[in-house]
Amino acid sequence: MSHPFDALFFPRRIGVIGLSRRPGTWGRRVVDVLKAGGYEGEIHAVEPREPDEDLPTIGDLVREGHLLDLLVVAVPADSAVNVVERARRGGVRAVVLFTAGFAEIGDQGRELQEQLQAAAGDMPLLGPNCLGLVSRPASAQVTPSAYVERPAPPLGPLAIVTQSGAMGFVLAALLDQRGAAFSYYASVGNEACLSLTDVGSYLLERPDVRVLGLYVEQVRDPAALAGLGRRAAELGKRVIVLKSGVSEAGGRATLSHTAAVAGDPLHFGALCRDSGIAMAEDDETFADLMTAMQRPVALPPRPRLAVLSMSGGAGAVIADRLAALGAEVPELGPRTRAAVEALELSGIAASDNPIDLGGQFYRNTESFGELLKILDQDSALDGIICYFTFGDQFPEVFRELALNLADLATPAWLVWACPPDGALDGTPPGVVHASIASLMRALPAVIRSPEPEPVDERATAAVKAAAARAACRLPLGPGVVTEVLASGILGELGVPYVESVDVDDAAPVTQAGVSPRPHEGRSYVVKIDSPDAPHRARLGLVRLEVPVDDLTDVAAALLKRAAELGLRDAQAAVQPQLAHRGELSVGAVRDPHYGPAVIVGPGGDRAEDAGAARHAIRLPARPGAVQQVASTLAAEHPGLEPVSFAEVLSLVCEFVAQAPTVAELDINPLLVSLDGTPVAVDSLIVLTAESAGDPA
């Protein structure tokens, strides 16, 4: 065994401690499952309370533990630590610990789990509180789960690692339904010694694994998860994650609007995007993505597809869904169209794309095969999708057509709607889908992302220099940097900012530099600036649409209100109220779990709308991430000029990366001006006393 984890997944000698003669107990279940699954290695009863005539016995772990590759522990939690410690001393190579009653039950259990970690030392231990593992290449099903008693499909290039044993087996069953066989499964439980990413890294390096699927409830180590995605990309493999629950991230400050809404899903989504990990939104999507990725297929970012359908309506639905994915269903070229029409395929209703095959096309399967060859030879097409229905009278014909699709040089898929029972058994995995929805869930897995724009070194150097200048203007020590100073810092950075005049008494505002002429006919915004009022609108300290003639009175009233509230260093900021097309917010947070990120979303009154769409950029920003978010925002907000918005995002990302004392930054709103360029009209910066560590 060349790797320590080989003892888990390729054990030659397995011992079970806590074995009972009573059927249904976990130790007994493991023995029965191993035997029923064809395991050909040795199985030992370890320190049994009573002799087991069917199994050889190991009477003392300390003396004879070296005989075991893998020890399965099915004893109570209060006995497990002692068993694990003696197993390590005896030379056992690895342990699977099913037992619950550790960190998941609270402080007492956490203390016991710490003792367990110390007892295991550097011996690989899977669990506790897990459902074991399955290694189909070794015929080693080390689990009590009833799932493994089902007929096992052929081995496949898929592996599953899960933090929930039961959910992991549900995902495995969904793969089986699609004919997408997996070879390895591991339930990591509490991850006392071996983490999800530890086991995932081992399996990803195996030559017989092409796709790694993860079920995650808590992201314990964001950096390790990101590294797993990057390593998969290096190997030409893929990682898919289905996440539920809430991470251990917490303790965020919430002075800024951004920090109030920068929840775990945003950070997790950005981590996956940056590291090339595909995200599944539910169990069915997970299974469809895994199934699709097992085929070595890669479509261009905007693929051109031919659609063939027994139903014109279904062809139109597929074309609409493809368009939503960014794919095209183009007109066939003159040569291809002429070749299709020359076939005189029986029952064909239309030779446009989508091609309406009619309901009788199957009467001449030879001509249909010729049709596929014609499309396969068209270099203008990146893929082919067929749609069949029912086929109860001749399922073998449809199955043969599915095999023909799998043999094409051009990637092809078949949607076989409402097939007869068992008709999909044995059809090529990843080729045949039972519904349009299933295919559309799978296709994003094989569509390549656009290549990022080439890095402009001179522009990058200019951004870095501007960020350094702005960082030098930050005050020392912790505190709130309100708009009067924050606007100057952002202006130094290069972020377009509205003109502002600040007054600290009730003297006529026009004497402070506000002239009615440049903004004649416009109204103004008057707001109080004070470190004691980061959310001044909530205190009634912001007035909108103030006529120029009322500026002095409004400013005086707000200053008086600030004095009544006892606010320190209160000033009145006066700005012209700008016409605009929309409001955005750009902010930054340093999450204690995921590290720093810039968050972009709706601005103004919707800045803390939990249901609104937002986008995160992890720092330091990877090449292309800023442009990708800017393009997405431009699509969501018509009129936004993506190039100038990307410049603002680049400046903010670099500034936060260079200024580690910035705990939070909030630009809200960032107006989309009438010409599409962004203009900031409010801002806030929260500083910490020291540089914050960036865990991810």
- Interval 334-349: pLDDT, tens: 999 888 888 876 556 5
Instruction: Decide if pLDDT at 108 tops 90.
Output: yes
By the 10 Å C-beta count (0-12 exposed, 13-18 middle, 19+ buried), 230 is classed as middle
Is residue 215 within 8 Å of 191, Cβ to Cβ?
no
What is residue 583's DSSP assignment?
Answer: E
**Pairing between strand 133-135 and 182-187?**
antiparallel
Three-state SS for 421-489 is CCCCCCCCCCCEECCHHHHHHHHHHHECCCCCCCCCHHHHHHHHHHHHHHHHCCCCCCEEECHHHHHHH
Question: What per-residue confidence (pLDDT) applies to 245?
Answer: 72
- Interval 486-503: pLDDT, tens: 999 999 999 999 998 877
Question: What per-residue confidence (pLDDT) applies to 659?
Answer: 95
Least Cα distance to 524 among 541, 554, 508, 547 occurs for: 547
- Domain 305-446, what fold? Rossmann fold (3.40.50)
What is residue 623's DSSP assignment?
Answer: T
Q: In b/e form, how buried is each residue of 72-85, taking b as 16+ CB within 10 angstroms? A: bbbbebeebbebbb
Question: What per-residue confidence (pLDDT) applies to 642?
Answer: 93
Rounded to an integer, what distance in angstroms lies between the CA atom of residue 142 and that of residue 686?
52
Q: Which of 205-219, 229-243, 350-364, 565-579 has the least mean pLDDT?
A: 350-364
Percent residues over pLDDT 70 in the chain:
92
* pLDDT confidence tier of residue 244, bands split at 50, 70 and 90: confident
Question: What per-residue confidence (pLDDT) applies to 345?
Answer: 67
Is residue 389 within 8 Å of 360, Cβ to Cβ?
no
Q: Mind giving me the DSSP string for 34-66?
A: HHHTT--SEEEEES-SS--TTS-EE--HHHHGG
Helix (H) or strand (E) holding 90: helix 77-90
* pLDDT confidence tier of residue 117, bands split at 50, 70 and 90: very high
Instruction: Decide if pLDDT at 518 tops 50.
Output: no
Rounded to an integer, what distance in angstroms lies between the CA atom of residue 252 and that of residue 49?
52
Rounded to an integer, what distance in angstroms lies between the CA atom of residue 430 and that of residue 287?
10
* pLDDT confidence tier of residue 304, bands split at 50, 70 and 90: very high
Has domain 499-577 been given CATH number 3.30.1490? yes
Rounded to an integer, what distance in angstroms lies between the CA atom of residue 408 and that of residue 168?
34
CA angle at 312 for the pair 309 and 315, rounded to the nearest 5°:
55
Tell how far CA 39 is from the center of its chain. Answer: 36
Question: What per-residue confidence (pLDDT) applies to 521?
Answer: 53
Instruction: Decide if pLDDT at 513 tops 60.
Output: no
- Interval 605-637: pLDDT, tens: 888 787 788 999 999 998 788 988 999 999 888
Rounded to an integer, what distance in angstroms lies between the CA atom of residue 316 and that of residue 107?
58
Instruction: Decide if pLDDT at 144 tops 60.
Output: yes
**Pairing between strand 595-602 and 615-618?**
antiparallel
Helix (H) or strand (E) holding 400: helix 395-407
Instruction: Decide if pLDDT at 56 tops 90.
Output: yes
Q: How far from each other are the two terminal CA atoms of the chain, in whole angstroms?
A: 33
Mean pLDDT, to the nearest integer, of 514-522?
52
| Token pair of 519 as six digits | 């903004």
Q: Mind giving me the DSSP string for 134-155?
A: EEGGGTEEE---GGGGSPPPPP
* pLDDT confidence tier of residue 516, bands split at 50, 70 and 90: very low
Instruction: Decide if pLDDT at 681 tops 80.
Output: yes
* pLDDT confidence tier of residue 393, bands split at 50, 70 and 90: confident
Handedness of CA 153, 159, 164, 165 (dihedral sign): positive
Question: What per-residue confidence (pLDDT) applies to 514?
Answer: 56
Mean pLDDT, to the nearest integer, of 220-243?
95
For 74, phi then psi, to 5°, come to: -130, 55
The residues near 100 (Cβ < 8 Å, ≥ 6 apart) are 77, 128, 129
- Interval 633-645: pLDDT, tens: 998 888 899 999 9
- Interval 265-274: pLDDT, tens: 889 999 999 9
- Dihedral class, residue 678 (left if φ above 0, else alpha if ψ from -120 to 50, else beta): beta
Question: What per-residue confidence (pLDDT) applies to 66?
Answer: 96
**pTM of the shown model:** 0.89
* pLDDT confidence tier of residue 506, bands split at 50, 70 and 90: low
Instruction: Decide if pLDDT at 471 tops 80.
Output: yes
For 690, phi then psi, to 5°, come to: -135, 170
Rounded to an integer, what distance in angstroms lies between the CA atom of residue 541 and that of residue 563?
11
The residues near 568 (Cβ < 8 Å, ≥ 6 apart) are 530, 531, 532
Instruction: Decide if pLDDT at 251 tops 50.
Output: no
Mean pLDDT, the chain, rounded, equals: 90
Q: Which of 158-162, 246-250, 321-325 has the least mean pLDDT?
A: 246-250
Tell how far CA 214 is from the center of its chain. Answer: 11
Question: Which residue did the predictor score with more confidence, 537 or 682?
Answer: 682
Is residue 601 within 8 Å of 607, Cβ to Cβ?
yes
Least Cα distance to 68 among 49, 48, 96 occurs for: 96
HSE of 671, CA atoms in CB hemisphere, 13 A? 16
Rounded to an integer, what distance in angstroms lies between the CA atom of residue 6 and that of residue 11?
7
Question: What per-residue confidence (pLDDT) applies to 347?
Answer: 57
SS3 breakdown of the chain: % helix, strand, coil, rounded to 5?
Answer: 40, 20, 40
- Interval 207-216: pLDDT, tens: 999 999 999 9
Q: Which residues pair with 328 in a beta bridge?
A: 304
Q: CB 59: neighbour CB atoms within 10 A?
A: 10
- Interval 446-463: pLDDT, tens: 998 877 677 778 889 999
| Token pair of 539 as six digits | 């205190």
Is residue 528 within 8 Å of 484, Cβ to Cβ?
no
CA angle at 27 for the pair 22 and 31, rounded to the nearest 5°:
95
Question: What per-residue confidence (pLDDT) applies to 511?
Answer: 56
Domain locations in the chain? Answer: 305-446, 499-577
Q: How many helices (H) and strands (E) does the chain have?
A: 21, 29
Least Cα distance to 291 among 434, 147, 431 occurs for: 431
